[in-house]
Amino acid sequence: MAQNENLAQLSKAGVAVWLDDLSRDRIRSGNLQSLVDEHSIVGVTSNPTIFAAAISGSSSYDDQLHALAVRQVSVEEALRTITASDVRDACDLLAPVAARTGRDGRVSLEVAPGLAHDTDATASEAAHLWWLVDRPNLFIKIPATLAGLPAITTSIAKGISVNVTLIFSLERYRAVMDAYLSGLEQRLAEDPNASLEDVESVASFFVSRVDTEIDKRLDAAGANASLKGKAGIANAQLAYRAYEEVFSSDRWKALEAKGAQPQRPLWASTGVKNPEYSDTMYISELIGPDTVNTMPEKTLMAYADHGQPGTAVQEAYADAEQVMKSVAEAGVDLDDVFRVLEEEGVQKFVDSWDELTASVKEQLQDKA
């Protein structure tokens, strides 16, 4: 089948188009396959919020829930069995994409969000999930909290491919890239013959949530309205400049010579929250080589229908710097913005995980 032209052009520009959604219904109905065939989808991301919506609103999980209830498994084991099953099936569906591209065809599964501030527990669960799904095109999602950084290094050193999530600030993004390089270096230090070629990582830099928080503060400060809706993209554009710096360094070149792959920037939270803004702005203005853009289906279809490329990321650095400077001069405490966004991001996933846990517990009781 023919690919949508707008999305195909996005792919040719170096953007890997991923879907920010996963459900058993989407897999079984053939919908996910059709998005791969017709809309250039080469990867899938999931999170606790996505699974909460998928499981609570579908009968596709009934047979598995009944089998788990009969076995009297714990709610936690049931959750992991159900989510791992969907991710494994999605990995199998995308395996041909992985074979064709060598880098994509990936599906992400997140560690329990309640572990976000526990390094050892995060690293242990990452290893367990990697074993449980047992597919080479899996990504384990680890949050970029301060406790998450050493867990990223540990996981990479073990050969576990990682999608680092909930990145908001340039400072934390640089720490994430350092954690990735440190993991590769540790892997080689422990075994000089260890392969680096199969260890992949992406760094999920959140976009629209930055605008939502900063716009609110600009309004409170009585700032010039022309600054609204610009910081999220500018922040991400400067992140890409940081990516270019780190992955052209001598430190990186030494690892690249051993077969390492760069940790690609992934633009997350790309669904537009403010209806006054263009519904494709977080795609059009973030086009650059070796990037990933993970989109909700609504955003994906909007770009397929009327998306057009904006200014290339590498051409926007000067303007992006000015935007962030102007926002700070307007009285917005950017460090506090990023702190609040990280705390809220973790809490939102914890709340979704709790909702998912309650739903599965209730369904296990009903199916017993």
Active site residues: 141
State the pairing for strand pair 138-143/41-44.
Answer: unpaired
Alpha carbon 180 to its chain centroid, in Å, reads 15
Q: What CA–CA distance (Å, rounded) separates 75 from 359?
A: 10
Q: CA–CA distance from 45 to each of 105, 107, 221, 323 (Å)? A: 11, 6, 36, 30
Q: CA 49 → CA 270, 352, 358, distances in Å?
A: 15, 5, 13
Partners of 107 in the beta sheet?
44, 138
- The Cα 156–Cα 182 span in angstroms is 9
Which of 232, 236, 241, 196 has the alpha carbon at shortest distance from 211?
232
Residue 351's contacts (CB-CB under 8 Å, 6 or more residues apart) are none
Q: Distance between CA atoms of 108 and 87, rounded to whole angstroms?
A: 7
d(CA 43, CA 141) in angstroms, rounded, equals 14
